[in-house]
Copies of this chain bind each other. A is one copy, B any other.
Amino acid sequence: MSEIEQQLAEFNIRPTAMRMLVYQFIEQQQKAVSLSVIEDYFDKADRTTLYRTIKTFEEKAVVHQIDDGTGVAKYALCEPGCGCDIGLDLHLHFHCTHCNDTTCLTDHKIPKIKVPAGYIAENINLVVKGICDLCNRT
């Protein structure tokens, strides 16, 4: 039983070949990936399969969806303390307007936000836009 197989099993996901490959691919990336990127990489596989694979991962809190304002959903692996398993996604994301990459800043937590009386805050999405480390140096 491979390592990836074990990890998927922990999330109660049946470890099919496709799922293991997709998991491995997302794991290798240092950034959040969109569905189209995954499609391009696995050009043999069907769009729908990849779509549903991601949906499954999302439901089981393997990955979380990131909306960086570009209009396309991106996904990144959840990490311990990520909060995704309890429906929260309280770390912030950085979107580089130069290379268009989006990364999780897991160790930078979102500060406490006050909302007006009568409002109930359940979740927070915070995306910082700017120039990333890599683009800044070149």
A residues lining the B interface (CB < 8 Å): 67, 69, 71, 73, 92, 94, 97, 105, 108, 111, 113-133, 136-137
**A interface SS class:** strand
Residues of B within 8 A of A114 (CB): 108
When all copies of this chain in the complex are counted, the total is: 2
Q: How far is the CA of A109 from the CA of B132 in the complex (A)?
A: 24
Q: Kindly list chain B residues whose C-beta atoms are within 8 Å of the C-beta of A126.
A: 113, 124-127
| Bound-complex Cα distance A124 to B133 (A) | 17
**Complex CA–CA separation, A137 to B134 (angstroms):** 48
Partner of A111, one of B113, B127, B136, B137: B113
What residues on B are CB-neighbors of A92 within 8 Å?
Answer: 113
CA of A127 to CA of B117, assembled, Å: 17
Task: In the A-B complex, list the 9 residue pairs whose CB atoms are closest, starting with the nearest.
Answer: A118-B133, A122-B130, A120-B131, A123-B129, A121-B130, A120-B130, A125-B127, A111-B111, A67-B69
> Please, how many angstroms separate the alpha-carbon atoms of A73 and B120 in the complex?
23
- By beta carbon, the residue of chain B nearest A124 is B128
